[in-house]
A and B are shown apart, each in its own frame.
Chain A
Amino acid sequence: MAVTSKTAPAAVTATATTADKPPNKFKQALPQYAAVSPFFILFAIFGAFPVLFSIWISFHSWDGIGEMTWVGLEQYNYLLSDATFWKAIGNTLIIWVLSTVPMLLLALVIANALHNATRFRTFYRVAYFIPNVTSVVAITLVFGSIFSNNFGLLNAFLQSIGLGQVEWLTQPWGIKIAIATIITWRWVGYNAIIYLAGLQAISADVYEAAKVDGASSRQTFWRITVPMMRPVILFTAVTSTIGGLQIFTESRVLFGDTNNIGGPGDAGLTIVSYLYQSAFITNQFGYGAAIGWALFVLIVLFSIINWRLIGGNDDERLTRRAARRVERRIAAQNAKKTAEKTAAAKETADVR
């Protein structure tokens, strides 16, 4: 189309033969393109360019001021043999499990309670959601004083009931538990609200049918609520995986005053903390970008695992599974029949 309209004779013949065809579609659509362009221009500058640039600098060694030097895959090579990087991955995964598992379970319980609540429903919903809109830095400062070794509320409490004190912010597990607690506290309400929305979308008919069939409340929960909530649970699992792999602020604020932002023994060093430390504290921007891309790969990987474990294309999978089950049953029946037949044949043969 564009090619023909450029050459004058062709254009002439085109207009001559098909009168209703416009001479240049692009020109006609220009105002529309112009109207939507601000987003694309801004996205190109602030979205696409930084992403592409980060790939570019991950192949370079750059201290932020001088010339970039091309090092090829050297940064990634170093990354793979960097013990601190692997430690950061390990820490992130431990903190993620420590925070996400209790968080999602709690959220489901809370959502169920909210769903069944009869009085002050809005109040409870708002109350559970408030931690999520509070500044992470403020939350972390408060939790920092709760977990503090020297003046922490938690230690004061533990001591008052005779359990002695735990050095929360210097012991490797203490640090991880402290960070996981902050994350759980902050996100549990958010997930509960999402679950609540999912619960309310389940038709009451299903529950009534279950009631008629005499299902207990536990059976109803595990056989109806959880399976029907599956897409919602998948959504929260994927979002908390992505969020969990990007944990940063909590350890940054808890141990923020030194260059060592991972806390004692790097026990609170997450992947993003390590990225930040590499790029903005030790000024190795190329290495920081490489860590960023490693994180990207990791997030993709975990999202796929989650998808496979919890969800997938639900309907299709269920029907496929049902079809397989039916097939299996038919096959089993056929096998049984043939076995019976042969047995009968044998029997008759034996009798003869």
Chain B
Amino acid sequence: MTLSRRKFLAVGTSAAAAAAAGLTGCGSRSSLGGSNELSMWTWVGSVNDDLISQAEKAIPGYDGMKLAMTRIGTNYKTKVLTALAGKSLVPDIVAINDDVATYFPNADQFHDLFELGAKDLEKDFLPWKWKLGITPENKMMAYPMDTGPTALFYRTDIFTKAGVDIDPAAVAGLAPDWDAYIELGKKLKQAVPGSAITDNIQGVYDYRMAQQPKRYMTADGQYIGDQEHVRQSFDLAVRVVKEGLSANAQNSSDKNAVVTNGKLVAYNAAVWWAQLGPKNAAPKTKGLWRVTAAPGGAGNRGGSFLGITKYCKNPEAAFAFISWLESAKNQAQAFLDPVLFPSTPAAYTDPTLTAPDPFFGGQRIVDVFAESAKKYPGAYFSPYDSIIGTPIGKELVNIEASGKDPDLAWSDAQRQIERELTRAGAI
């Protein structure tokens, strides 16, 4: 007798059961990918394609291993957390966004990069950026990728109309701090009605906070989000709105619209905004933009990291790869393609970065951002920063969108933060 129907069903069932068992992955603690390849997860636009395809053939300086990279689309963090929660088929290397501190309570899921020899490379990086990947227990969990230094973007054609000198140095001199910047904004608005110097209230708050040497918590776990430096940023954002200098654009299509229709004439933003803002939303304004030092000093918003998970099949090879990928020379190359601003100061003089940018009228914009990146004082990011920042941001929107009383909004935000922090066990 050959294959009977019964036998076929029995085989089929056991195969299904085996597949089911395989899916749940009982007990196996392995990383994703073949034994001679390192798997890496990242989101779209976070690494340079040429460098990756080079490593996909063979990881430079490490024979016998190659890279297998997957670009995870949306919900990147959720997918990474899901993989880590499953404890198997976890990628060897994961990209981590600027919320790196939220991973710190689970730093045991990652290799300590100090143990893999990271200390020797510290001198190549911006000191404040380097510090951001180190946990309070002095374990290096994340290796620096790009940064997000801030500067003032402005439209020369509108400035000319308002009779303001468009030379970057002159603009920087005209608006050294936020008070002067608001005065400048009023002048622009008088000359060109409808002009705004921020897309919305949160833009001011976020970029003011990005200049502060401290944020919401101290390194030893004290909550300082109700103190003067936060309240001052909050009040500043409210003031810009009260002066009528905000474009009140609350969602992404509106944010693009105010760039396209020329309402947003100046914006204190991070380097990546050059691509996301004017270059994408308003390609016709090519040549009309300039960049100069931001009012209120150097700042940083955004920037990402790389971590090696504890499931990694070959941590030495993984470290060799990430230190190669984030070398000054390769970071300079990554600036060209997905516009990632290097965290290695040596890259700032690389000819690929110092080339004049025709979109900014041939200005060497890297000089402005490099200055900002070097001068930025650095600040401690706690694991709870995002749950503290969210209520404040929401209340700011309430002030702008529905005219909520700022004092009430502030106290509501603080009450909500206290609730959230108590629940999270932070205070």
Contact = CB atoms under 8 A, between A and B. Distances in A.
Interface in A1-44: 31, 34-35, 37-38, 41-42
Interface stretch (A103-111, A167-175, A241-249, A321-329): A167-175
Interface string B47-78: 00000000000000000000000000001011
Contact of A259 (B6, B386, B423): B386
Interface string B96-108: 0000001101101
Given A35-B9, A66-B105, A264-B397, A169 B75 contact: no
Given A148-B253, A255-B250, A257-B252, A265 B105 contact: no
Nearest to B105: A66
Given A169-B250, A259-B386, A280-B78, A151 B261 contact: yes
Given A64-B85, A150-B247, A37 B397 contact: no
A31 B250 contact: no
Contact of B402 (A41, A144, A171): A171
B84 interface: yes
B10 interface: yes
Contacts of A169: 250-251, 254
Contacts of A42: 16, 20
A292 interface: no
B107 to A, nearest CB: 10
B109 to A, nearest CB: 6
B13 A150 contact: no
Contacts of B116: none
A78 interface: yes
Contact of B250 (A63, A259, A264): A264
A189 interface: no
Contacts of B44: none
A259 to B, nearest CB: 6
Nearest to A35: B9
B386 A257 contact: no
Given A65-B85, A263-B250, A280 B75 contact: yes
A182 to B, nearest CB: 14
B13 A148 contact: no
A25 B129 CA distance: 70
Contacts of A61: 425
A41 B20 contact: yes
Interface in B77-93: 77-78, 81-82, 84-85
Interface in A228-270: 254-260, 263-266
B25 to A, nearest CB: 12
Nearest to A83: B416
A41 B16 contact: yes
Contacts of B20: 41-42, 45
A144 B251 CA distance: 10
B198 interface: no
A282 interface: yes
Residue from B23, B423, B425 having most chain A Cβ neighbours under 10 A = B423
A174 to B, nearest CB: 10
A265 B13 contact: no
B302 interface: no
A37 B16 CA distance: 9
Contact of B401 (A66, A144, A264): A264
Contacts of A65: 81, 84-85, 103, 106, 109
Interface stretch (B151-159, B214-222, B357-365, B387-395): B387-395
Contacts of A256: 251-252
Contact of B390 (A37, A78, A149, A259): A259
A219 interface: no
Nearest to B9: A34
Contacts of B398: 264-265
Contacts of A280: 75, 77-78
A141 B253 CA distance: 9
Given A31-B6, A38-B16, A150-B258, A145 B24 contact: no
Which A-B residue pairs are the 9 nearest by beta carbons?
A: A257-B252, A264-B401, A64-B81, A170-B401, A65-B106, A150-B257, A151-B257, A34-B9, A264-B397
15 contacts: A31-B9, A41-B17, A42-B16, A45-B20, A45-B24, A61-B425, A65-B103, A66-B109, A78-B423, A151-B257, A151-B260, A170-B250, A257-B252, A260-B390, A265-B397
Given A65-B81, A78-B423, A259-B393, 14 more contacts: A31-B6, A64-B85, A66-B109, A141-B253, A149-B254, A150-B247, A169-B251, A170-B401, A256-B251, A259-B386, A264-B398, A265-B404, A282-B386, A283-B81
